[in-house]
Structure 1
Amino acid sequence: MWRRLPDREALSEAWRAAVRGLRQGLPLVFAVLGLVVVLTAVGVGYHFVASSPRFAVSRVEVLGNQRVPASALQSRVGLSAAVLGDAPGRNIFALDLGQMAETLEAEPWIEAATVRRRLPDAVVIEVEENQPVALVELDGLYLVDERGRVFARGQVERGDGAELPVITGIARDDYNAEPARTEARIRRAIEAVELYRERDGGDGAEARPRLGEIHIDNHSGITFFTFDTAMAVRIGHGSADVLRARLRAFDVAWRSLPREERAQVDVVYADLHERPDRVTMRFADAAGMSR
């Protein structure tokens, strides 16, 4: 049985269609090949940087620390000297810098931390330490910052807070039950300390006696205790301006006392609401004296 063959023009059209299809498909083929090449190169490059001893961490620089030893910070993030000495060492690109910073900030003395790479083989740790401004008695002495936040237990044997005033009058149970409210009371005490220290003798005026303790309670308000003689200076409740005025009244009365009489002062009452310009002093060997 005879079958009719396609004519020449039909064959030409079919050939042209095949060529057009090939031309249209070539870019996709080249794109796929290019992607394969790129991915292969990336894989080879990653394997190189992840395994090359050139990028093994061999140095750690710690900045900003004063209280916490650099070795302790390095150990906290797994970069102690012993670890750095191991071969082949930790690859610098395998480190989770964000997680390392969070780990450091979990330390009581660390307020903020950043960790960065310094290629090819160094890691830089920079920390900002908490700055204690006072100690607070909470069934033990604890360090507090300027925000009134308790951040570490004071290690007296190491000299923690040796020059800092001690805040008393705050119960540990209150702190545990209402930490935010208690921190506000601690801040109130810290603000009063700052008022007391405004007269430090730097302007040529006589400095106030060195402060040792500040007691705060709902009934009496603020009471200072001097470091050397434990003299009580009661300034009570009030705004910063009110407390500042009472301290100035104390200054006037204090300057009027001879040195030998100052050593005998037991309590200074500068919280007389009816006479804010007057100060009453109680002496250890007398019933009292007004100035």
Structure 2
Amino acid sequence: MPSLTGCAPSLTLANQTPLTEKRMSIRQYVALALMGLAALPFTTVRVRAAEEAAPVAAHIKLSGDLNEAPVSSDSLFGAAAENFKSKLDRIHKAAKDDAVKALYLEIDGVSMGWGKLDELTRAVAEFRKTGKKAFAYMEGGDAKEYLLATSCDEICVPESGWIMLTGVRAEVSFYKDLLDKIGVKADILRMGEAKSAAEPYTQTKMSEASHKQLEGVLDDFYENSMVGRIVKNRGEKKFTAEQVKKIIDNGPYAAHAAEKTGLIDRVVYQKDFEESFKETLKADGVTITRNYGQTKSEELDLSSPFAIFKLMSPS
């Protein structure tokens, strides 16, 4: 019988990869993946370093009565109360902080006398001596608030803002007519023509000597503390004393009128004002530290019935 020589059919897969090659490919993928994972921490560090390198604008809000009484560090609602010294300390701290490149003063209804105004002005001047910028933002303000703002490099108010710059004034109340009606007579010994402390109780109007004395005090404040301060602090505007006096005589001013006269630098809303820090500081980004340097105490959860025990416990 004829013999049949059979050949087993041979099936060849053109795309078949040997097992050793597969293993090598897997090893390569694993190695590449590990290299990528190893690079991630360094990338993160570089990103964080860039963020940390962003200049800081120290935000300090000045509002209300800047009293000088000692305050408790244990506040009921978290943020500890502050006094006038605390505000000054925060400005001085920002001046010494290398990360801080600008001071951002938000002036909002500050009640202060001429002495406190001078101290705040000196603190801002010392900050600027370090080569750092100072910005002032105010919704509106009276003469003292505006004079404080002039100690900064730039003053901005929103479109709805105003500057109540109208000079200085003083008034004296007299009570002699009231005392006469109730049958009371003030018995006061007066020594010297300019000693006017008793006048409100013994006269119905100011004496000539008293009027001259008070007028001299007001003239001094007007010429030096107001006109002279604006001429000096707004030096880039090259104001003369006579120009400033004329500006004051025509006050108060709405925002755009104040910008036109040179009292302020820009009319801008607060968000856009803060965005402009990048351009002024020539940085890609600026970190605004809200309430810079303000001490915060531990907050209480008043929804908890046990919060009362924490309030009653000795500190």
* TM-score normalised by L of structure 1: 0.29
**Higher relative contact order, structure no. (Cα contacts within 8 Å, ≥ 6 residues apart):** 2
Of Structure 1 and Structure 2, which has the larger fraction of its residues in strand?
Answer: 1
Of Structure 1 and Structure 2, which has the larger fraction of its residues in helix?
Answer: 2
